[in-house]
């Protein structure tokens, strides 16, 4: 009977456990510290951390605690790579929380924020025309993150916040705990792949830096175009049935947020070269975005309407390089907030900058 009723089990290894564990503690401690020194000496930790549902949930909990003077960013990778959260925080005097999820539609997150009565501040939504259509797709990472958040948000003592704090402490003191490069990757991955994988630095505030100087930009751009085209050999116009119904749904969510004093702005982040051509062929701006701008009850900002936002060179046609992040944040902030031009952290009277409506 293979049941290990432990006290009577004859299977349990019985010998030398004390010395085994003393040895394990010493050897693992030595190895871990050794890797930590190597890591710091070679700046491997700079490749950053990875996203996780746990981290997202922690930020989502923080978003509920912001009150009126807070900014929540939602969308996908473009807003993660394009907004310098610290700079935006400094310029507006408001706490900024990054809730964008790479490669995922945001509508379910917007729905969640709309139903949360404690969301009272500003929400900046990075969207495309296509992004407005994804409300039915519930099986994605955004829904996985949301499910996780809802499953833990009722924890006594906010367990996940405690866990996140413990993790943050460990990461603060041990670089290798917040590291993308493990000894396995360092030893076995080809150096160019390591560099490629490491061109993105995921920050603990969930913003991301993209260093395109580390990669073969030409290849990355052509891969991006192929991915963007999907199964089409060339982009063709796509008719969106009931587009106005999608806008109505979004407006319903906005009404909930705005009726309690919250503010929302939709931003179409820049794309260029062939990526923009594909987007504009499939969903022409004049037909769709301008219609959205006209019907939306929130403010909309399209990069194409603002020379200060459309002049950036996007290495892969779709995202900003880290070297342009600050400048782009300043320009966008100037457009969105009424204190941006002076780059003030807080107005003279101490009130945070307000969103231009």
Partner 1 sequence: MTFDSAFFFIFFLSTLAVYHVISSWDYRKVVLLVSSYFFYTIWNPPYVLILLFSTIFSWVIGNKLTRTGNGQERKILLILGLVGTLGLLAFFKYSAFLLDNLIQTLSLIGISYQPPILDLLLPIGISFYTFQALSYILDCYRRTQVAPVSLTDFALYVSFFPQLVAGPIVRTNEFLPQCRSLRIVTYSHLGWGGALLIIGLFMKVVLADAFLAPVVDKVYGSYLSISGIDAWVAVFAYSGQIYFDFAGYSTCAIGVAMCFGFGLPDNFRYPYASIGFSDFWRRWHISLSRWIRDYLYFSVGGNKKGRSKEYRNLFMTMLIAGLWHGASWLFVLWGGLHGIYLVLEHWLKKSFNGRIAALPIPSFFLIGLTFFIVTLTWIPFRSPDVFVAVNMLASLFDTEVVSITDRLERIEVISIIVLLFIWQLYMRNRYVEHVVERRHWVLRAIALSVLVVSILLVEGEGSRAYIYFQF
What is d(CA 82, CA 326) in angstroms, rounded to the nearest whole number?
Answer: 8
In the complex, minimum distance from the CB of residue 199 to partner 1, in angstroms, rounded to a whole number: 15
Q: Does 173 bind partner 1 (CB under 8 A)?
A: no
In the complex, minimum distance from the CB of residue 68 to partner 1, in angstroms, rounded to a whole number: 28
Contact 250/123 with Cβ under 8 angstroms? no
Strands (E), 199-323: 200-202, 208-210, 263-268, 299-302
End-to-end CA distance of the chain: 73
- Among residue numbers 122 through 161, which ones bind partner 1 (CB under 8 A)? 139-141, 148, 150-152, 154-157, 159
Binds partner 1 by CB under 8 A, chosen from 43, 50, 118, 342: 50
Q: Does 176 bind partner 1 (CB under 8 A)?
A: yes
Contact 352/93 with Cβ under 8 angstroms? yes
List the Cα angle 256/140/150 in 5-degree steps.
55
Token pair in block for residue 231: 């199964």
Strand partners, 208: 202
Q: Is the dihedral of CA 352, 251, 267, 117 positive or negative?
A: positive
Q: Which of 110, 143, 355, 146 minimizes the C-alpha distance to 252?
A: 110
What is d(CA 86, CA 95) in angstroms, rounded to the nearest whole number?
Answer: 9
Binds partner 1 by CB under 8 A, chosen from 53, 279, 280, 324: 53
Give the nearer residue to partner 1 in terms of CB position, either 226 or 357.
226
Token pair in block for residue 287: 């037909």
Give the nearer residue to partner 1 in terms of CB position, either 35 or 328.
35
What is the 8-class DSSP label of residue 119? B
Binding mask 6-45 for partner 1 (x = CB under 8 A): xxxx-xxxxxxxxxxx-xx--xx--xx--x----------
Q: Does 297 bind partner 1 (CB under 8 A)?
A: no
Binds partner 1 by CB under 8 A, chosen from 37, 38, 117, 162: 162
Binds partner 1 by CB under 8 A, chosen from 136, 173, 187, 231: 231
Residue 255: how many other CB atoms lie within 10 Å: 12
In the complex, minimum distance from the CB of residue 85 to partner 1, in angstroms, rounded to a whole number: 21
Binds partner 1 by CB under 8 A, chosen from 46, 69, 131, 189: 189
Q: Does 49 bind partner 1 (CB under 8 A)?
A: yes
Binds partner 1 by CB under 8 A, chosen from 64, 128, 179, 333: 179
Q: List contacts with partner 1 (CB under 8 A).
A: 2-9, 11-21, 23-24, 27-28, 31-32, 35, 49-54, 139-141, 148, 150-152, 154-157, 159, 162-163, 166-167, 170, 176-177, 179-180, 182-184, 189-190, 193, 226-227, 230-231
């Amino acid at each position: 009977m293979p049941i290990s009723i432990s006290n009577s089990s004859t299977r349990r290894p019985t010998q030398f456990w004390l010395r085994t564990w003393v040895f394990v503690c010493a050897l693992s401690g030595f190895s871990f510290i050794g890797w930590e020194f190597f890591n710091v000496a070679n700046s491997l930790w700079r490749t950053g951390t990875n996203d996780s549902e746990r981290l997202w949930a922690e930020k989502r909990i923080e978003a509920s605690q912001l009150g009126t003077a807070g900014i929540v960013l939602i969308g996908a990778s473009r807003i993660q790579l394009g907004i310098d959260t610290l700079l935006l925080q400094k310029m507006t005097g408001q706490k900024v929380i990054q809730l964008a999820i790479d490669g995922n539609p945001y509508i379910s997150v917007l729905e969640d924020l709309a139903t949360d009565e404690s969301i009272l501040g500003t929400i900046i939504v990075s969207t495309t025309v296509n992004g407005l259509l994804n409300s039915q797709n519930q099986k994605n990472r955004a829904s996985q993150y949301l499910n996780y958040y809802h499953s833990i948000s009722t924890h006594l003592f906010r367990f996940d916040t405690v866990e996140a704090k413990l993790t943050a402490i460990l990461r603060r003191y041990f670089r290798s705990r917040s590291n993308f490069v493990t000894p396995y990757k360092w030893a076995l991955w080809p150096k160019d792949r390591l560099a490629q994988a490491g061109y993105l630095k995921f920050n603990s505030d969930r913003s991301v830096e993209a260093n395109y100087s580390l990669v073969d930009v030409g290849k990355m751009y052509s891969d991006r175009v192929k991915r963007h085209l999907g199964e089409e050999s060339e982009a063709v116009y796509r008719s969106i049935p009931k587009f106005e119904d999608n806008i109505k749904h979004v407006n319903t969510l906005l009404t909930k947020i705005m009726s309690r004093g919250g503010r929302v702005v939709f931003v179409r982040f820049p794309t260029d070269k062939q990526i923009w051509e594909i987007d504009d062929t499939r969903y022409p701006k004049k037909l769709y975005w301008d219609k959205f701008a006209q019907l939306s009850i929130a403010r909309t900002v399209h990069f194409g309407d603002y020379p200060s936002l459309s002049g950036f060179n996007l290495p892969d046609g779709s995202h900003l390089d880290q070297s342009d992040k600050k400048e782009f944040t300043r320009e966008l902030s100037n457009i969105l907030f009424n204190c941006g031009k002076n780059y003030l952290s807080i107005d003279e009277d101490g009130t945070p900058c307000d969103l231009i409506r």
